[in-house]
Amino acid sequence: MTAKIIDGKAIAEDLRRELTGELEELKIAGARPGIATLMVGDDFGAGMYRGAVEKFCGEMGLGYRSEMLPSDATDAAVVAAVQGLNADPAVSGILPLRPFPVQVPDSLVIQTILPDKDVDCFHPFNMGRLALGEHTFPPATPRACMELLERFLAAEGKDLAEELEGAEVCVVGHSNTVGKPLALMLLNRNATTTVTHVYTSNRGNLAKHTREAEYLVVAAGVPHLIGADLVKEGAIVLDVGINRVVVCPKCDALNRSKKSPCKACGTDLSEAQSKTVGDVDFNAVSQKAAAITPVPGGVGAVTNMMLARNTLRAARLQLENK
């Protein structure tokens, strides 16, 4: 069996066209949809994400505001910055860019954001609504997984709700940003949902769960964690992982850094090539699964579109509540 490719880039382009029309309608109605990022300190990863959000907003025609505070900012200063974003009518959605310095608790920042501007479902109010199956801003990456599934199944002449009812679904990873909310979304669709994580692996029990899954979603942050031996024949596999790795030129083993010799054969990696891979061994698993998302070009391609959709919805709600 050779898996069908679930093309996130193509789906993202379809979504872009749909959302562009909605954005223009909102602007005509007087809304100013836009995203603000809040960054405290100079974390490299947070800075990279800030730049990516700014670029995406420019491409989509969304407004963008960047709020940046020094690493020694007090919690009071950060709260004041968030309150300023809450009050800005040109800010429809607020994205807190973590990590924050130790003196600024995540929970303080997140709970200061207005739930109506919490477009990535960090606030306990919105997460609670998600858990209860009520309408809210779904977190972007889990929603991207559901969107990919829904559109892929529709192209196959199938209905997502019918396909998920009672189906065995395994989520690998239990982060607050992907694994946990995705599990809630699947449960809300009446899927038989199992969540596994590092402690499942530590007990040697990962395989018994993944091998039973008709739908397997992997968001563990471990390069090529899932090989063909861990996948059920004919499963649909969504790979959320994005890992930058160094490939050994001698044995093809994946390594985290060029600074150390290859973990498998000891080869010097200082001149080795880097590449981006997922948590799933794509080449191996695609010979066993019915369908699979690539990395890059899968879930990540659709995630920003889900963030844009939430931002437009927030702008519409704010316009209606004027």
Question: Contact at 8 Å (CB) between 75 and 102?
Answer: no
Is residue 10 over pLDDT 90? yes
Note the pLDDT of residue 321: 86
Note the pLDDT of residue 46: 94
Note the pLDDT of residue 60: 96
DSSP letter assigned to residue 72: T
Note the pLDDT of residue 322: 76
pLDDT, tens only, 156-204 = 999 999 999 999 999 999 999 999 999 999 999 999 999 999 999 999 9
Q: What percent of the chain has a predicted confidence (pLDDT) above 90?
A: 98
Is residue 65 over pLDDT 90? yes
Domains, the chain, with CATH or none: 32-119 (3.40.50.10860), 140-242+278-303 (3.40.50.720)
What would the mean pLDDT of 79-88 be, rounded to a whole number?
A: 98
State the pTM of this model: 0.95
DSSP letter assigned to residue 121: S
Note the pLDDT of residue 3: 97
Q: Which residues of 297-319 are buried (b: 16+ CB within 10 A; e: fewer)?
A: bbbbbbbbbbbbbbbbbbbbebb
What would the mean pLDDT of 12-41 be, rounded to a whole number?
A: 97
Note the pLDDT of residue 50: 96
* DSSP assignment of 259-298: SS--TTT----TT-EEEEE-SB-HHHHTTT-SEE--SSSS
Structure tokens at 26: 């909102």
Note the pLDDT of residue 1: 72
Is residue 259 over pLDDT 80? yes
What would the mean pLDDT of 33-56 be, rounded to a whole number?
A: 96
In single-letter form, the type of residue at position 74 comes to T
